[in-house]
Amino acid sequence: MNIANFTIAKRTSVWVLIALTLIGGYISYLKLGRFEDPEFVIRQAVIVTPYPGATAQEVSDEVTDVVEGALQSLQEVKEITSVSKQGMSEVTVEIKREFSNNEAELQQVWDKVRRKIGDAERSLPPGSGQPIVNDDFADVFAQFYAVTGRGHSDKQLQDYVDTLRRELALVPGVSKTATLAEKNEVIFVEIASDRLAQFGVSAEQVYRVLERQNMVSTAGSINTDTMRVAITPVSSISSFEQLKNLQIAIGDNNTVMRLSDIANVTRGFEEPSSVLMRYNGKRAIGLGISNVAGGNVVEMGDAVKARITELESQRPHGIELHEISIQSDSVRDSVSEFINNLIAAVVIVFVVLLLFMGVRTGLVIGFVLVLTVAGTLIVMLIDDIAMQRISLGALIIALGMLVDNAIVVTDGVLTRLQKNPSADRKQVVSEIVNETKWPLLGGTIVGICAFSAIGLSPSNMGEYAGSLFWVILYSMMLSWVLAVTVTPMLCHDYLKVNANKVSKPGKISAAYQRVLEAVLNNQKKSLVVVVGLFAVGVVTFSHVPPGFMPESQREQFAIDIRLPQGTDIERTHEIVGQIEKDVWEKSNITGTTSFIGSGGLRFMLTYSPEPPNSSYAQMLVDVDDYKVIESLVAELHVELNERYTDASINVWKFMLGPGGGKKIEVAFKGPDSEVLRQLAEQAKDIMEQSPALVAIQDDWRQQVPVIRPVYSAEKVQSFGLTTVELNQAIQQTLSGRNVGVYREGNDLIPIVVRSPESERHHDRVIENTKVYSATIGQFVQVEQLIESSSVEWQDAMLRRIDRVPTIMAQADPATGILTSEALEMIRADIESMPLPVGYELEWFGEYKDAKEADEGLKISAPYGFTAMVLAVVFMFNGIRQALVIWCTVPLAVCGVAIGLVTFQTPFEFMATLGFLSLIGMMVKNAIVLVDQADKEIASGTQPYEAIISAAMSRARPVILGAATTILGVAPLLVDPFFKSMAVTIMFGLLFATALTLLVIPLNYALFFRIKQPAQPQTN
């Protein structure tokens, strides 16, 4: 079937389809999800198991090892990491991507994990708690607020946050809400040991009454004549005052007394706090709102803001709601900026076509371009590809390539009509489409295959940037379909040729022909020049530093504060307050948000919150212009570390793309924790000597002091006691003991019995603690039962990777220094460290992330390149044509190197993708030229003349295609994420165009042994 003739004959139906495509594209644009970054599945879960009273080593040996062993038997597991702390085991399991391509598959894996952990629970030691599997890591709280309340109590502030949280959870598009730094209310019952002794009451008596008095229980039911009626006695405690007046029988005579007569009953909050939060120096509570999976963040954010406005009248005076991170606004701005870049790229491409091909020709190709973009948006909606950084960038990258097919067809029709204006239009269009459709399809497939490396990559980066491949696949295939259907119809109906105008070669064409002939007439010399250019490119490329992901332009940076391990959270809170004052002394600061005791809620997908740690704090600093962040980071890092010498402070900028954590990490693995600490210290000493590194630490942190009393077993037994009772008595004195709950509405408030402050803060608090002995009927001081007491320094945490103890020495590059450069300064010295037998060294951090991303490309790239090579071979049914094309590809390194050096841009991951796509563009253009040369020779043209004729006839499409691509990608130069890719494509293609027009003919002549024909001799 003749596609062109069929389209022309059915033009009415085609125009209807065009109208539907344009309308569908607009509707799809409105309905497409909008995100700042592409969604990707977080394949991690944490198994938390409490083991109260155990040391980090005991937790590691008795709990963590059991949990890790159960997980290791699952074939879906990719990596197991664990942190064993005093009294707590945290095991993180990561699942392989092939078993969890979507959320449904991942949930099935988590079900298997829970069953395995349930089976392993029987092997845990007595005294350990039930393991809890937490797989809720994927929620991104796109709307993150801080709630402050000057003049309001913590209880009033929390009541307002809880009310607001319930209301916002009902907003359409909201998945869940979460809070941060809410204080847990507690009722404290403070009983002095002297008072208990005075009344002859044991603490256990009070515990039993408090535990059972407010417990919900059934009193049965009674059968009447017609029905059974339940018996539910009225609770004796319905208010806090009634709790204080709770009746307790004491003494041998069961004398009834009120609880408040023997104890001080107060309401308060859990001590110590687990997490604290400040906003601009004021106590705050964080409120996060996440959107449903695949939803439109912008619409959800607008709906949440509208609901908050409606509830404004219910907000108590003095309580304020502050924005920390509003992703709906940043996504709106980001998408708007990308749309502007897309429109700019379309306009640039359109103007180029108008200038070089005329108004009518430019309008034809420009209209086909708009139609292609509309069709791509429809397919994106069908395939659930949202509008985000990667997909919109892919559209901009594809713009220049999308017009290539239409340019070839339109230029072919225009050239043929200019040569013979009286020719039958329908026949000319039909012939051009039939001549070019398969070469264009082959070139399109090659161009698509060039991007397949990222689309098929099994790495995390492959998932993050995978939509780049699919958007380009859909758009380029649509461009080919439209080039052989709609384009010929538009050319047939709208192209006009002046029959009286004689087409003459221009000066540029004549100059190009002279250069081309010179190259073909001096093939050996030209080959030497080409090899020389390649050598220059390789040498220049060696001066391009490697990179991974660029820095974000977010108007916010972070400060990590790490005090000595074990620091009380109140001390950390105090230091943070001082640092906030130092930060506010700087100019351009608009806000500060501090999290004490942990990181914040995950307010964007690429942010990884720090796990709970009382000695850790993080501050988010808002500025009025992202351009000032570079200098602020450098200044604050030096000043804060000089001022707070007992803290490790790191000031850093947010990065784009997945990753996070420390940039430089060297891991030491082996069986003995002491040896591992020694190796880490040696590595940190090497890091300290390098001025290029800052924030040097290890991930085991410092050891912490532990008081180790030794009980006298004989004395303990003689009083009829056990070590458990002694430990409980000391715990009650120091931190209290949870003995029940008080019901107030829908709240269950824990009741904690503890000693009064005078006993808790005594210098000899342990020795003075009293424990009731039923054997002698009186209290005994713990001091009588202790043989000795000492202070030991123990590991606060022990980390393992895949069940092997692992410690990491960590650092970050100083401001203005690339991670790769900083790493190279210390890598040789660290790798030359002597390691004991059984110990090994491995690099983590950005090096590992980049390595995994590159390995993912290495796995997938061969498939794409094989497909590209085979496509060329099958298309020409020959090997030499393929060699002509592929021998040109390596020469593009020269243009890429010059561009990256000129723009001072590292060869980042996205630049790697740009280079792969550049290869596809080069091959695509080369196919058109080589195919034309083959056709010229097949038609009987002398080979030397055929090469020149083919190059001359295809010069305009090749140059126009390159120009539209180069200028179309230009708007991405201002985007930090795509800058390295844009530079790679622009400079690489600029150089590659010259290669296509000169080196392709040269290679063709060399491989087919075509020489300049001998000139006829004259007498």
Whose CA is closest to 729, among 780, 677, 787?
780
Beta-carbon contacts of 940 under 8 Å, excluding residues fewer than 6 positions away, are: none
Please tell me which residue, 577 or 513, carries the higher pLDDT value: 577
C-alpha–C-alpha distance, residues 811 and 817, integer Å: 13
Query: pLDDT tens digit string along 665-686?
Result: 999 999 999 999 999 999 999 9
Name, of 215-224, 316-325, 848-857, the range with top average pLDDT: 316-325
What is the pLDDT at residue 231? 83
pLDDT, tens digit (0-9, with 9 covering 90-100), for 767-805:
888 887 888 877 888 888 998 888 889 999 999 999 999
Q: Does position 364 have pLDDT exceeding 50, yes or no?
A: yes
Is the pLDDT score of 975 beyond 60?
Answer: yes
Find out whether 692 and 821 touch, Cβ atoms under 8 Å. yes
Confidence of residue 140 (pLDDT cuts 50, 70, 90): confident
- Tens digits of residue pLDDT in 479-509: 999 999 999 999 988 888 765 554 555 677 8
pLDDT value for 1019? 45
> Can you give the three-state secondary structure of 512-554, one letter per residue?
HHHHHHHHHHCHHHHHHHHHHHHHHHHHHHCCCCECCCCECCC
Domain 1-31+358-495: homologous superfamily in CATH: Multidrug efflux transporter AcrB transmembrane domain (1.20.1640.10)
- Report residue 818 as tokens: 């690339």
Q: How would you write 767-830 as a 3-class SS string?
A: HHCEEEECCCCEEEEHHHHEEEEEEEEECCEEEEECCEEEEEEEEEECCCCCHHHHHHHHHHHH
Give one DSSP letter per residue of 358-395, joined into a string: -HHHHHHHHHHHHHHHHHHHHHHHHTT--BSHHHHHHH
Residue 449 neighbours by CB under 8 Å, 6+ apart: 864, 865, 867, 868, 871, 920
Task: Convert the pLDDT of each residue in 696-718 to its tens digit.
Answer: 999 998 899 988 899 998 898 98
Domain residue ranges of the chain, discontinuous segments joined by +: 1-31+358-495, 43-137, 202-261, 507-542+878-1014
Instruction: Classify the C-alpha dihedral 223-224-228-230 as positive or negative.
Output: negative
Q: What confidence category does residue 421 fall into, taking pLDDT thresholds of 50, 70 and 90?
A: confident
Q: What is the pLDDT confidence band of residue 40, given thresholds at 50, 70 and 90? A: confident
Q: Cβ contacts of residue 308 below 8 Å, gap of 6+?
A: 164, 168, 321
pLDDT value of residue 590: 94
Share of the chain above pLDDT 70, in %: 96
Decide: helix, strand or coil at residue 754: strand
* C-alpha distances out from residue 263 to 194, 203, 470, 730, Å: 11, 11, 70, 18
Please give the average per-residue pLDDT across 378-397, as a whole number: 87
Q: Above 70 in pLDDT, residue 376?
A: yes
The mean pLDDT value for 935-940 works out to 88
Confidence of residue 1014 (pLDDT cuts 50, 70, 90): low
Shared fold status for 1-31+358-495 and 507-542+878-1014: yes
Per-residue confidence (pLDDT) for residue 352, from 0 to 100: 80
Residue 53 confidence (pLDDT) above 90: no
For strands 747-754 and 185-190, give the pairing: parallel
- 136, pLDDT greater than 90: no
- The CATH number that domain 43-137 falls under is 3.30.70.1430
**Does domain 202-261 correspond to CATH entry 3.30.2090.10?**
yes
Q: What is the DSSP annotation of 902-915?
A: HTT--B-HHHHHHH
Percent of the chain topping pLDDT 90? 34
Q: What's the whole-model pTM score?
A: 0.82
Q: What is the average per-residue pLDDT within 58-82?
A: 94
For 78, the token pair is 């990719």
At 918, list the tokens: 């550049």
Q: How far apart, in whole angstroms, are the C-alpha atoms of residue 194 and residue 779?
A: 9
- Most confident of the ranges 3-12, 74-83, 209-218, 263-272: 74-83
How is residue 37 annotated by DSSP? Answer: S
Instruction: Estimate the share of the chain in helix, then strand, then coil, as percent rounded to the nearest 5.
Output: 55, 20, 25
Written out in words, the top-level CATH class of the domain with range 507-542+878-1014 is mainly alpha
Reported as a pLDDT band with limits 50, 70 and 90, residue 547 is confident
Tell whether the model's pLDDT for residue 1017 goes beyond 80. Answer: no
